[in-house]
Chain A
Amino acid sequence: MSAHSPDNFDEMIDAEGGVRAAYKGYRDWYDEQDPQGLKRKHQEAEAFFRKTGITFNVYGQEDAEERLIPFDPVPRIVTAQEWRRLSRGIEQRVRALNAFLHDLYHRQEIIKAGRVPEWLLRGNPAYLPHMSGFTPPGNVYTHITGIDLVRTGPNDFHVLEDNARTPSGVSYMLENRETMMAMFPELFTRVKVAPVSNYPRRLARSLAACAPPACEGRPVVAVLTPGIYNSAYYEHAFLADQMGAELVEASDLRVMGGRVQMRTTRGFTPVDVLYRRVDDDFLDPLTFRADSMLGVPGIMDVYRAGGITIANAPGTGIADDKALYSFMPEIVEFYTGEKPLLPNVETYRCMEEDALKYVLDNIADLVVKEVHGSGGYGMLIGPTSSRREIASFTEKLKANPHNYIAQPTLSLSTVPILTKKGLAPRHVDLRPFVLMSPNGIEITPGGLTRVALKRGSLVVNSSQGGGTKDSWVLEE
């Protein structure tokens, strides 16, 4: 394990080849392991995932219908001290996002103050006029947020993306830990790791705390899934199961007597809080896409009348917008009166003339992304693209600069993965999961670490060959 690249920050090995504090305990254990034994455990892990059915469906590939996201058995480790700093920054950001969303759908002070331009909302499909003047129960918009972080140095974490629409991946955070504990129980007696397993309980509590005015007695929580063919169905079922909530599909729900009710074997029963894993567009065919089969006709009227809580609130998706992202430092400052604790990645808005010129001049060194894109699609990574790819992307960019932002190519940190030849560094990101309710913000220590399995690759998305790791926050 000497193959760390000097170009980027390796989270396990420092510049002198020594093991960093976070990984000391793990590395001591690792050095005592028999490499063959580790390989065998790695294979067992895959069998374990197959057995539990934690697979995802790949759209448009009928025969290879179900795939496993590759799991790497080397944990990604953060110290308690690093985590404290991170979680303060995350909390600040999520608070600011909520305040921003409330403002956006009410007085729009931030626009009046000239800190955020009005064009961000105009024509933005994620901005929902239906939410204007309405305050969701408990004034919570982002019940669940996933903040994507990348690291470039010992003290340098940046926010890469805010996922406030329907962040996914939390089941991997939980199952990866279960798998690690099943495979290497003795490791957990040697290294004290903050637990993550109470996430579903916290989620259930947090959602219940946002019950709507119409709720009588103990709030009934249900998870709304598009169904078993959705790529994240496993996660929907897993969370419903772990929370003891119902897992509903659109066909189970109906608006009756001013409530959204589910068809049970005993008759119709009102749902108080709907944790929906369905996009805004599909939520209510009467309000949004009329052809949606995944939504509940009339649910928006019930919502506005206080008959149900929808989590996350409709219209929060605007926070995922990459043009809006570029204003997050202003947004944080405007609502919290503090400097952002977690910096953004420097972002060029191609709709601005100067920025576009800079981007076109330096495109080979930049990452260019679609404003509304996700999943690592529709983006150009300058340094790893061919001249032809760059040329064709440049045309697209020139034709529609509004649709793009650009960022410098970050030298993302690496964490070792287990390969046939032992440990080898690969680039990673981190998605912690944040819960919000009127009772406060809770961040589960750790999150989902995604890892690019190909050497040198910066793309960690599972849809493009990325894998996952267990993510540890050490206890003090």
Chain B
Amino acid sequence: MLGRSANAVFWMFRYLERAENLARLLDTGFRMALTRDHLTAEEEWRSVIETAGMRDSYQEQHGTYTGIQVWNHILRDRENSNSIRSLIGAVRSNARSARNVITSELWEAVNESYLQLNDLLARPVNQSGLADAINTVKRESTLVRGAMDGSMLRNDIYNFARIGSFIERADNTARILDVKYYVLLPSLSYVGSSLDNVQWETILRSLGAERAYRWLNAGQLDARGIADFLILDGRFPRSLSFCYSKIRSNLHSLALQYGGEVRAHEVMRNADLKLQDRDIDFVIDMGLHEFLSDFIACNNDIARAVETDYRFTD
């Protein structure tokens, strides 16, 4: 396949993953703000913008943090290249560019998602429309993933799509943890305080992990357990460990098809060493923030190595 097509498929799925994660983040922010007083709600929305990495683009336009401004900035602001509307547009551009390496089913799923969301986000979203917007993003993203799963050959094209998805997902999980890492630090946690419980739940909820975690831990919330779950539990599909196992297996499949490994495989192995056989105490001793910063950098290195080694660009 063409390097440019690999690039298009890779970014198509990165942007799709990013859009879905933003929707989840908004959902969490909204729930939090609903249960808070005015001041804390503003703080919560500020934190949503921080977590989304949109402080600069938001502050260019707004002086205060209100819910309606925040969710419209994240959902539909065209000036914001990472708004869900911009991202879905980028997903579709990339799908068009890769049109002849993806199936019609996948293309049509992307195109329909775009048409639907573009229409839904054409006008400002008010409070009563927010839940619908969020759910539509999540549903459309699931439909696109399903179309890929059900129709695409398991070859290099699929591998690049999957690597893109999991690089992005790992990055998102790590960033959400990094923004909130302080509430997971044992020294700072007021064990059992209701504030902490709410914060912890926020983290779990923005990663769609609250049910899985509760189910595994009989409803007991504790900071160490949450960090362990989101970083190291290979059963949870948004944990760092799970993402790495997926990137690893897709890279492995590329090596088999292409008759050999490239530098990206070595970068992956080195990154793996930092997760493998670690326990959460080690991570916390190292410093959660340091660990996550290092992880995000390594994750970027993997992405860059894949882009270079497989000639995504000239």
Which residues of A does B touch, CB under 8 Å?
A: 50-53, 227-228, 233, 237-238, 240-241, 245-249, 251-252, 254, 262-267
Contact = CB atoms under 8 A, between A and B. Distances in A.
B108 A266 contact: no
Given A264-B3, A265-B3, A265-B310, A53 B96 contact: yes
B93 A228 contact: yes
Interface string B100-135: 100010011001100100000000000000000000
B13 to A, nearest CB: 16
Interface string B12-56: 000000000000000000000000000000000000000000000
A249 B160 CA distance: 20
Nearest to A227: B97
Contact of B2 (A51, A52, A228, A263): A263
B2 A233 contact: no
A249 B107 CA distance: 20
Contact of A53 (B2, B111, B160, B258): B111
B314 interface: yes
A105 B5 CA distance: 38
A247 B99 contact: yes
B62 interface: no
A52 B5 CA distance: 20
B2 A248 contact: yes
A249 B97 CA distance: 10
B99 A265 contact: no
The 8 closest A-B pairs by CB, nearest first: A237-B99, A241-B100, A240-B100, A265-B310, A247-B100, A263-B3, A53-B111, A228-B96
B311 interface: yes
Given A52-B108, A251-B314, A252-B3, A266 B258 contact: yes
Contacts of A238: 99
28 contacts: A50-B115, A51-B108, A51-B115, A53-B111, A228-B96, A237-B96, A237-B99, A237-B100, A238-B99, A240-B100, A241-B104, A246-B1, A246-B2, A246-B100, A247-B2, A249-B4, A252-B2, A252-B3, A254-B314, A262-B2, A263-B2, A263-B314, A264-B2, A265-B3, A265-B6, A265-B156, A265-B160, A265-B311
B1 A265 contact: yes
B96 A263 contact: no
A203 to B, nearest CB: 14
Given A252-B3, A264-B1, A265-B2, A228 B310 contact: no
Nearest to A223: B100
Interface residues of B, number: 23
A241 B96 CA distance: 12
A252 B5 CA distance: 10
Nearest to B112: A51
A247 B107 CA distance: 15
Contacts of A246: 1-2, 100
Contacts of A254: 314
B311 A267 contact: yes
Contacts of A52: 104, 108, 111
A238 B108 CA distance: 13
Contacts of B104: 52, 241
A427 to B, nearest CB: 33
Given A237-B96, A263-B314, A252 B4 contact: yes
Contacts of A247: 2, 5, 99-100
Contacts of A267: 311
Contacts of B310: 265
A298 to B, nearest CB: 15
Nearest to B109: A51
Most buried by A among B2, B3, B258, B314: B2
A249 B104 CA distance: 21
Contacts of B314: 251, 254, 263
Interface in B73-110: 93, 96-97, 99-100, 104, 107-108
Contacts of B156: 265
A263 B4 contact: yes
Contacts of A233: 96
Interface in B174-193: none
